[in-house]
A and B are shown apart, each in its own frame.
Chain A
């Protein structure tokens, strides 16, 4: 109570300083006068009395200072004063301040930008009620998705959790035929919105009664996301009750979800959510009863007093019966045993799930470290420049020390100046971050998958930025402050001596070494990532994607009977072939970089390979496939139209990898290939070998691949690859869609240039390459600037010495050598340290590299050359100027 009162008085005391100063002055004067009066009364002469009174009072100014400190709040008062002083200091050297602010803004801004992405993707809880209570139920520790039979078994046990929900993702088509209009969809259990604790923005959300197979009481119903409602319906208030056709099925809109709700997956938002029970209506082959269809994500909300351990325990208890009841019948015995025993896992899921997160966690961590190092370099840079200034301010500091300022006070003031700078830099950095983080996230989206990651400056981001800016302020401010205040009070009294050599060598030199080595690490990293990207981009795919357009044809709504669908697709193919600008077209079951179809083959004759080595990839293709893709035949023959009629020994073509792997020194042509576990499949006979081409992944290399003829059967969709006679195949899309619709108006058509897929497949590598190159360049620039500043300063301090040397006959080249030699030693040390650091660090990012070893000699050498070049330019200029010093002028000055 008493303390509060005192603080209150002191805060009040902050105001009215001058008046209170006068008051104190009068009080002190009256004190002295009273003392003198008394002394004089007792017979002391006036002069002596005055002396004694002053002596007895003690240090007058110190007492006043103490009094003032006590009167106000010293922290605040002096801080305000120091801040004003700091502003004046920075305003005095605008050039320096601008460079410092720019490098800090870039450094802190980059850190904030990347952190805000990390925050949105990794740290921020889902925007739902009590996200901390959410858990995910996983099939095993490693695999997350569940089958619908498992979900239904879980749903039948409401005692396990407070609530549980399942969802699967899909793309609906809003068009009934022709070019598809894709809509990002969710199949959700009736409990979905309730489990997340979401309230409708409009109308109602889904309930258990909606989630019945074939549609609930209100028939097939749909809930719109807020964004879709705005985009598609212009935010119409009467949207509830309106019809919405999804994949040819009429749904009724019953409500709109709130704006912040994007579902349980971070980075992906849904447009419409429909009940799981409606899935059979929209998909030709329902997965609801498929025991090996892993397409559902299951979340649950724990009871308030329930722990994850207890929930796991309860789940494990019912697991044996649950697993036995949902056993996929087509599993091999070894897999069945695994299925029974692999324990289900309950995992905290307050931050939701995210494919984007798992794909980008490591690249983001790398970039986070990179921007951290950039900021560190910027700080070291500033520290070095400030060290130079600190030497210049020694006079000021010694004067202030002489006037009674304490060293701690001066250090505090200089740190405050640095903090002022870093705070201003952080403020600018926030602007830079807000702009650039959106730019980076924009890079993640591809033509087909739009990444939606709401980036907000929430408290985490702001706290991060404040801490970072404060730390940087201390990092670059403390050493110079310490240095400046090492001045002695009596230095000020001495004449401004001209010293020949500065004592600043070691610390400044060390900072340059640190800077050079850190920059080298970043340049090495940039080199590795850029080369990874280029080696992926230049990767031989086995075909040239540029003229190719992939057209997915979907006949799910066609009245044509399933058995006649192949003929239907072939008619479309033939129609497309006759279009102008089309150089070729062929059907296939799978297209490159989209999905996989793999099976185990039986051991080829004479081999006994384990199952894992007998996993081969398949595709069913029309006879013209290889010509359309430009894949060359190596041996044997291509497939023909007659091959699909074969029942015994179906003719197949295999790729080189297949032939090499399974028929190393034997003749593959004519060999018989049998699939495992599928008794119905006829044996196949190899009739040709073609060049390798990538299948579903660019990084994983070419798998052993079997191309079999397209066989008539119950088909819903096939892909048509169209070769354009030009490199811009997208222009053909409308004509192709029209051709397809003219064959069958119910056909749905989606087209995408294959080159889009190729660039989408390297998006992560491209992003890493761009970011690391940008920051590597920034680091080089900062290192160059820093080196220039240090050398220029060193030269200016040695002007006299250089002048004397030149007067004594040193040549300009000699002077340049003198300056450069010292820099060279420092840079050399930095290069050695940076090389070692880079050698260690590159090992950590090995997983992100492709086509080169982490210690790739060319990259290391190239990075070193670039860095040395920058260092040479940065130090040559001041050295050159030094060599043009006019000795006569310098000597006159001294």
Chain B
């Protein structure tokens, strides 16, 4: 779509979980903004694609949601990590680190 990289399949979930771990309960818009900011605006995120991902995480039991009120008094649905979500962040973060480390070695290797 654009020249900026899109969010890779499967990584969005981890980004969401990590965001919630770092910031605590947050609404969808907040999560989206935070992901973009953290990436240094290097990622393009179609905000619309976030919601199916959130639903999936909720169905898998890693996050839970409830309606609340935002700081500027807007009704919003807030998402928070569940216990299994906390475990998942740790596990997946570790796995990603390993994967990227391995890949980095490959990519860094001069033929």
Contact = CB atoms under 8 A, between A and B. Distances in A.
A445 interface: no
A37 interface: yes
Nearest to B1: A58
A844 to B, nearest CB: 56
Contact of B29 (A31, A60, A69, A71): A31
Interface string A713-739: 000000000000000000000000000
A59 B48 contact: yes
Interface in A38-70: 38, 56-60, 62-63, 66-67, 69-70
Contact of A70 (B32, B56, B74): B56
A6 B56 contact: yes
A456 interface: no
A34 interface: yes
B99 interface: no
Given A10-B59, A56-B47, A34 B76 contact: yes
A67 B29 contact: no
A3 B56 CA distance: 10
Chain B CB within 10 A, most for which of A6, A26, A59: A6
Contacts of B76: 27, 30-31, 34
B46 interface: yes
Contacts of B27: 30-31, 34
Contacts of A57: 46-48
B51 A24 contact: yes
Given A58-B47, A60-B48, A6 B77 contact: no
A113 B58 CA distance: 52
B49 interface: yes
Contacts of A26: 75, 77
Interface string B24-60: 0001111011000000000000111101100110111
Given A34-B76, A63-B51, A5 B29 contact: no
B52 A37 contact: no
Classify chain A's interface size.
20 to 34
Contacts of B75: 26, 30
A19 interface: no
B27 to A, nearest CB: 7
Contact of A58 (B29, B33, B49, B74): B49
A30 B47 contact: no
A400 interface: no
Contacts of B9: none
Contacts of B60: 2-3, 5-6
Nearest to B32: A31
A28 B55 CA distance: 13
Classify chain B's interface size.
20 to 34
Contacts of A2: 60-62, 84
A158 B102 CA distance: 70
Main secondary structure of the interface of B (DSSP, over half): helix
Contacts of A38: 33
B32 to A, nearest CB: 8
A674 interface: no
Nearest to B70: A34
B72 interface: yes
A76 to B, nearest CB: 15
A56 B29 CA distance: 11
A9 B52 CA distance: 14
Nearest to B44: A56
Interface string A474-517: 00000000000000000000000000000000000000000000
A70 B51 CA distance: 10
Contacts of B30: 34
A31 B76 CA distance: 7
A28 B51 contact: yes
A209 interface: no
Nearest to B62: A2
Nearest to A20: B55
A67 B46 contact: no
A35 interface: yes
Contacts of A10: 59
B72 A6 contact: no
Contacts of A35: 29, 47
A489 to B, nearest CB: 20
B74 A71 contact: no
B74 A37 contact: yes
A31 B47 contact: yes
Nearest to A69: B52
A24 B48 CA distance: 11
B47 A6 contact: no
A227 B84 CA distance: 66
A27 B30 CA distance: 13
A42 to B, nearest CB: 12
A27 B47 CA distance: 12
Given A27-B51, A57-B46, A63-B49, A33 B74 contact: yes
Nearest to B65: A27
Contacts of A56: 46-47
A190 B84 CA distance: 69
Contacts of B55: 67, 70-71
A30 B33 CA distance: 14
A5 B57 CA distance: 11
Contact of A6 (B29, B46, B59, B70): B59
Nearest to A41: B72
A13 B47 CA distance: 23
Contacts of B46: 56-58, 63
Nearest to A60: B48
A813 to B, nearest CB: 63
Contacts of B28: 27, 31
A651 to B, nearest CB: 101
A678 to B, nearest CB: 91
Nearest to B72: A37
A30 to B, nearest CB: 5
B52 A30 contact: no
Contacts of B49: 58, 63, 66
Contacts of A34: 27, 29-30, 70, 74, 76
A70 B52 contact: yes
B75 to A, nearest CB: 6
Contacts of A13: 59
Contact of B61 (A5, A24, A70): A5
Contacts of A31: 27-29, 32, 47, 76
A58 B77 contact: no
B74 A30 contact: yes
B76 to A, nearest CB: 5
B9 to A, nearest CB: 13
Contacts of A71: 55
Contacts of A24: 51
A334 to B, nearest CB: 81
Interface of A: 2-3, 5-6, 9-10, 13, 24, 26-28, 30-31, 33-35, 37-38, 56-60, 62-63, 66-67, 69-71
6 contacts: A2-B61, A6-B59, A13-B59, A27-B51, A30-B29, A58-B48
Interface of B: 27-30, 32-33, 46-49, 51-52, 55-56, 58-62, 70, 72, 74-77, 84
Given A24-B51, A34-B70, 13 more contacts: A2-B62, A6-B59, A6-B60, A9-B59, A27-B28, A27-B77, A30-B75, A34-B30, A37-B72, A56-B47, A62-B48, A63-B46, A67-B52
Interchain residue pairs A-B with the least CB separation, the first 6: A63-B48, A58-B46, A58-B48, A9-B59, A34-B29, A6-B59
